[in-house]
């Protein structure tokens, strides 16, 4: 009887440890992109206030020209996202002086992006990641809500991740200031 109980305890311990290891690996991979990593490449259709480009733009085509701000956001036309994109719009010339190109990325279709960009007079591209493949690649997709998380990445001219804010807060001006400082440090 004792032998069975001991084997049972060993089996439970093994299952418990295995489960913990699986959870640990899942947690580590959930934010697998780190500063210094090569940025995962992608190609997405986009819209601006003036046009829709179904053939899209790839990250690799932009590497080396300017530093790139990838701004993942939940949805066009929402309050927080409007605040975020208007902050980029209102600081566009400052960001340009810091040699940065802003790319907004959400799951909305390019048609929504185009109308929203016209409405807000946005000077930068809004990329359509309708299947959230790029957001998942950058761990910027929330499975529970079905929307992108609000995350910011700076990709430097060498194609490396230079800055990450996993919880960009549009109501906290310090977050935008940190983004500007990170861009200034790349000059």
pLDDT at 187: 78
List the chain domain ranges.
1-30, 43-186
Output the average pLDDT for the chain.
89
pLDDT at 26: 44
Q: How far apart are the first and last CA of the chain?
A: 72
In sequence order, what DSSP letters do the residues of 69-106 get, joined into one string?
EEEE-S-TT-HHHHHHHHHHHHTHHHHHHTTEEEEEEE
Confidence of residue 105 (pLDDT cuts 50, 70, 90): very high
Decide if 101 contacts 154 (C-beta within 8 A): no
Share of the chain above pLDDT 70, in %: 83
Class of domain 43-186: alpha beta
Residues annotated as catalytic are: 81
User: What's the per-residue H, E or C state across the chain?
Assistant: CHHHHHHHHHHHHHHHHHHHHHHHHHHHHHCCCCCCCECCCCEEEEECCCCEEEEEEEHHHHCCCCEEEEEECCCCCCHHHHHHHHHHHHCHHHHHHCCEEEEEEECCCHHHHHHHHHHHCCCCEEEECCCCHHHHHCCCEECCCCEECCEEEEECCCCEEEEEECCCCCCCHHHHHHHHHHHHHHC
pTM of the entire structure? Answer: 0.82
pLDDT at 118: 98
């Amino acid at each position: 009887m004792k032998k069975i109980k001991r084997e049972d305890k060993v089996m439970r311990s093994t299952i418990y440890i295995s489960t913990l290891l699986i959870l640990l690996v899942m947690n580590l991979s959930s934010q697998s992109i780190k500063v210094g990593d090569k940025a995962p490449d992608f190609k997405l259709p986009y819209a601006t206030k003036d046009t829709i480009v179904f053939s899209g733009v790839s990250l690799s085509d932009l590497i080396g020209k300017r530093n790139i701000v990838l701004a993942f956001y939940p949805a066009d036309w929402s309050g927080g996202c409007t605040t975020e994109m208007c902050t980029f719009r209102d600081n566009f010339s400052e960001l340009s002086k810091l040699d940065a190109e802003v790319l907004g990325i959400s799951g909305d279709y390019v048609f929504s992006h185009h109308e929203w960009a016209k409405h807000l007079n946005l000077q930068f591209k809004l990329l359509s990641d309708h299947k959230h493949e790029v957001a998942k690649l950058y761990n910027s997709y929330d499975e529970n809500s079905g929307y992108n998380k609000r995350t910011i990445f700076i990709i430097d001219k060498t194609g490396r991740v230079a800055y990450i804010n996993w919880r960009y807060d549009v109501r906290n001006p310090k977050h935008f200031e940190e983004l500007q400082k990170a861009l200034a440090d790349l000059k």
